[in-house]
């Protein structure tokens, strides 16, 4: 009934009937050289309806009306031959029983068979040629007939678009015999029962659990590039507990000049949390960076290295990479040097806590734009070493910003975090003070901006690598609290928005990136366990260990009194009223921090200063501070200039 309700079915059905009538009449016309007597004409008309019944029933039997025309394959053409031969044989049986072949020309039946195969098969081939318009369309189909090995993995393909059809052809080829495609599934059941290259469309989302059990499916391949994360998550949750592995076809950029099947990859948690893609005009970034000298601090880290990769796209003249970790810096340098082009990539081993080191680098390379991504960010670790966090995040930021002013850097963009909002941790408090320092320095000839966002997936120290390791080890997966939630964004998207925000800055702004909806960490853990083909709390235990010092249940992106204003870019907001900073108190605190780092290393005194500087900061006094040996001897910071003068002394 579903087939009969499809208008496309009736179109091809009537087209086939028309072609069969023409083929039959042309066979008679050819046999009698165009001169058909009246008796033969009557016989031809009388036998036409039985001919149509025999052939159309054979076509239906061999599934000629369940295929999707645009994907006509060798398999469909073989079915056309089978249907035509079977129909002709049925017609011969009818003629033998009804007329005993009296007055029937056997050459007419043979010619009609040949014309039928050419016409019916040609119609379907023309439809495919029209939709795909590519040379050599059927060459790849020849490998479809090779049989797979006995140890194949059974596969369902999600999707029926051209990408899914191409994936089927590649998996059916001789070079991909480890997979056997059982069928297709799609969002709706409209196409259920139809076939693509002889492989049936088995159903929709709600049918998947039954299909997995019935056909003993091993893998589900999602053949929809850039599929929204919410839809992927629904599919995975539908298969919870069935032990199915998931893979996804690559994006366009991942499969240029390559086969889809060769680039199939496991679905990552980033795919589940990916937001709807938004196209941004990156010309503003190109104008900002093209032909410039750009310096990235913390270039070996997850954010800094991605900044370096994306900056390379906009053709700066020189890219200076600054980091105090040798191996990560070496890795990103080697990666960027493989990028075609004449961009100079200069790695600099250095520490943002050393004013002399910074002065040497800025004096030598004279950067036009600085992206400040260097920071200590591990919350529990900074809780036991607050002065090290202050030394790096506050004093290090102060020194980089001061040197930037001294050498007339055009623009300085600092990467901040949502943990700076109502901070409950040392790390969050130090990043908030760093925000205040950067904003207060705007107006010294350098335009300063801050970009604040939440967690990024896959960054060094994030929960995703931790969960992956725990799942690989068999569990348990440890979570601090059942209700803990965080904002998440992929690293490439966050960096792209940082570049746009920095380029559109006029100085003094605090930008917020739209992080979407917060994600519960327990849901994230369950999704990752299911992606591994396992069952949460059955195969892998989820264990709650309690909040660690400095951690909050929920993160925020706004401080009280900060109003948000939209920008021309959908996912970038800017804070109003974010510049109410008492510079005298701020720089007195900076000087006191410097004294503490240089002389006493009194952790409790440092925390007390942070509390007075940030009234919203609440710190657990139960923390046991650790004595830390400082590797880099801190430089002396000059006394800060009173807020009445905007010139920063260096």
The pTM assigned to this predicted structure is 0.62
Domain boundary among 132, 161, 182: 132
398: in domain: yes
Tally of domains within the chain: 3
Please check whether residues 219 and 352 belong to one and the same domain: no
| pLDDT tens digits, 408-425 | 999 999 999 888 888 888
Rounded Cα gap, residues 247 and 268, in angstroms: 9
423: in domain: yes
| pLDDT tens digits, 71-98 | 666 777 888 888 889 988 998 888 888 8
221: in domain: yes
Name the residue with higher pLDDT: 410 or 625: 410
Q: How confident is the model over 116-127, as a mean pLDDT?
A: 84
pLDDT reported for residue 354: 93
Q: Classify the phi-psi angles of 147: left when phi > 0, otherwise alpha if psi is within -120 to 50, otherwise beta.
A: beta
Residue 261's pLDDT band, with cuts at 50, 70 and 90, is low
Average pLDDT in the chain: 80
Please check whether residues 86 and 159 belong to one and the same domain: no
- Name the phi and psi angles at 545, rounded to 5: -115, 0
Please check whether residues 307 and 227 belong to one and the same domain: no
pLDDT reported for residue 592: 92
Rounded Cα gap, residues 449 and 427, in angstroms: 20
The 10 Å CB-count burial string (b at 16+, else e) for 478-515 is: bbbbeebbbbbbbbebbbbbbbbbbbbbebbbbbbbbb
Please check whether residues 100 and 157 belong to one and the same domain: no
Preceding peptide of 341 cis, ω within 30°: no
pLDDT reported for residue 600: 75
pLDDT reported for residue 533: 72
Please check whether residues 189 and 244 belong to one and the same domain: yes
Write the burial class of residue 591 (CB in 10 Å: 0-12 exposed, 13-18 middle, 19+ buried): middle
Which residues are part of the catalytic machinery?
419
Range of the domain at 207: 144-268
| pLDDT tens digits, 475-493 | 888 888 888 877 677 788 8
Please check whether residues 497 and 404 belong to one and the same domain: yes
pLDDT reported for residue 557: 58
pLDDT reported for residue 300: 92
364: in domain: yes
Please check whether residues 385 and 254 belong to one and the same domain: no
| pLDDT tens digits, 23-71 | 888 888 888 877 878 888 888 888 888 888 998 888 888 877 776 666 6
Q: What is the CATH number of the domain that holds 149?
A: 3.40.50.720
Contact, 224 vs 244, CB < 8 A?
no
Beta carbons within 10 angstroms of residue 130's beta carbon:
10
Q: Smallest Cα–Cα separation from 162: which of 80, 249, 232, 78?
A: 249
Please check whether residues 327 and 245 belong to one and the same domain: no
Domain boundary among 212, 242, 268: 268
Q: Which two tokens stand for residue 128?
A: 């495919």
Q: Which two tokens stand for residue 562?
A: 């900060």
Give, as one character, the DSSP assignment of residue 178. Answer: T
pLDDT reported for residue 270: 61
Identify the top-confidence range among 153-157, 281-285, 433-437, 474-478.
433-437
Domain boundary among 268, 293, 311: 268
Please check whether residues 414 and 449 belong to one and the same domain: yes
Identify the top-confidence range among 27-41, 172-186, 199-213.
199-213
Please check whether residues 369 and 323 belong to one and the same domain: yes
Please check whether residues 319 and 451 belong to one and the same domain: yes
Residue 269's pLDDT band, with cuts at 50, 70 and 90, is low
Please check whether residues 296 and 258 belong to one and the same domain: no
What residues are paired with 293 via a beta bridge?
318
């Amino acid at each position: 009934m579903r087939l009969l309700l499809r208008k496309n079915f009736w179109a091809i059905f009537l087209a086939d009937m028309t072609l069969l009538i023409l083929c039959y009449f042309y066979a008679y016309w050819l046999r009698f050289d165009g001169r058909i007597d009246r008796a033969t004409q009557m016989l031809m008309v009388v036998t036409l309806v039985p001919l149509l019944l025999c052939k159309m029933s054979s076509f239906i039997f061999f599934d000629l009306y369940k295929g999707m025309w645009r994907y006509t394959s060798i398999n469909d053409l073989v079915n056309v031959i089978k249907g035509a031969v079977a129909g002709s044989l049925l017609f011969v049986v009818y003629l033998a029983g009804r007329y005993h072949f009296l007055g029937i020309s056997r050459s007419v039946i043979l010619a009609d068979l040949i014309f039928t195969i050419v016409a019916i098969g040609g119609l379907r081939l023309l439809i495919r040629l029209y939709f795909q318009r590519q040379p050599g369309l059927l060459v790849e189909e020849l490998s479809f007939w090779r049989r797979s090995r006995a140890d194949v993995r059974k596969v369902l393909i999600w999707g029926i678009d051209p990408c899914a059809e191409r994936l089927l052809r590649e998996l059916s080829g001789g070079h991909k015999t480890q997979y056997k495609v059982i069928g297709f599934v799609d969002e709706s059941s409209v196409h259920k029962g139809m076939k693509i290259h002889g492989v049936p469309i088995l159903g929709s989302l709600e049918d998947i659990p039954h299909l997995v059990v019935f056909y003993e499916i091993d893998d589900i391949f999602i053949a929809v590039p850039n599929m929204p994360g919410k839809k992927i998550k629904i599919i995975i949750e539908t298969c919870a507990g069935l032990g199915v592995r998931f893979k996804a076809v690559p994006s366009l950029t991942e499969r240029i000049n390559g086969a889809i099947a060769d680039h199939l990859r496991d679905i990552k948690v980033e795919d589940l949390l990916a937001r709807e893609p938004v196209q941004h005009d990156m010309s503003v970034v190109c104008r900002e960076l093209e032909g410039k000298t750009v310096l990235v601090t913390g270039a070996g880290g997850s954010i800094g290295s991605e900044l370096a990769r994306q900056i390379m796209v906009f053709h700066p003249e020189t890219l200076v990479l600054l980091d105090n970790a040798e191996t990560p810096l070496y890795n990103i340098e080697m990666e960027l040097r493989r990028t075609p082009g004449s961009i100079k990539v200069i790695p600099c081993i250095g520490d943002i806590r050393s004013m002399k080191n910074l002065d040497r680098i800025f004096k030598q390379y004279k950067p036009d734009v600085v992206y400040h991504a260097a920071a200590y960010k591990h919350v529990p670790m900074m809780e036991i070493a607050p002065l090290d966090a202050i030394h790096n995040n506050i004093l290090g930021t102060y020194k980089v910003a001061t040197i930037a002013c001294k050498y007339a850097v055009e623009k300085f963009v600092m990467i901040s975090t949502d943990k700076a909002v109502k901070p409950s941790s040392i790390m969050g408090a130090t990043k908030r003070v760093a925000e205040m320092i950067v904003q207060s320095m705007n107006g010294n000839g350098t335009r300063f901006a801050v970009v604040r966002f939440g967690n990024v997936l896959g960054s060094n120290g994030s929960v995703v690598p931790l969960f992956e390791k725990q799942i690989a080890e068999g569990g348990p997966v440890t979570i601090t609290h059942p209700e803990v939630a965080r904002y998440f964004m992929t690293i490439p998207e966050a960096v792209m928005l940082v570049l746009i925000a920095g380029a559109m800055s006029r100085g003094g702004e605090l930008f917020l990136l739209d992080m979407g909806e917060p994600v519960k960490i327990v849901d994230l853990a369950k999704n990752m366990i299911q992606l591994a083909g396992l069952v949460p709390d059955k195969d892998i235990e989820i264990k709650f260990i309690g909040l660690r010092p400095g951690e909050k249940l929920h993160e925020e992106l706004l401080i009280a009194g900060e109003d948000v204003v939209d920008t021309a870019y959908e996912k970038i907001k800017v804070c109003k009223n974010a510049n109410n900073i008492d510079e005298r108190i701020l720089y007195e605190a900076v000087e006191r921090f410097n004294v503490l780092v240089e002389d006493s290393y009194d952790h409790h005194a440092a925390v007390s200063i942070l509390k007075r500087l940030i009234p919203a900061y609440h710190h657990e006094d139960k923390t046991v501070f650790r004595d830390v040996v400082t590797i880099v001897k801190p430089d002396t910071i000059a006394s800060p200039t009173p807020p009445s003068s905007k010139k920063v002394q260096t």
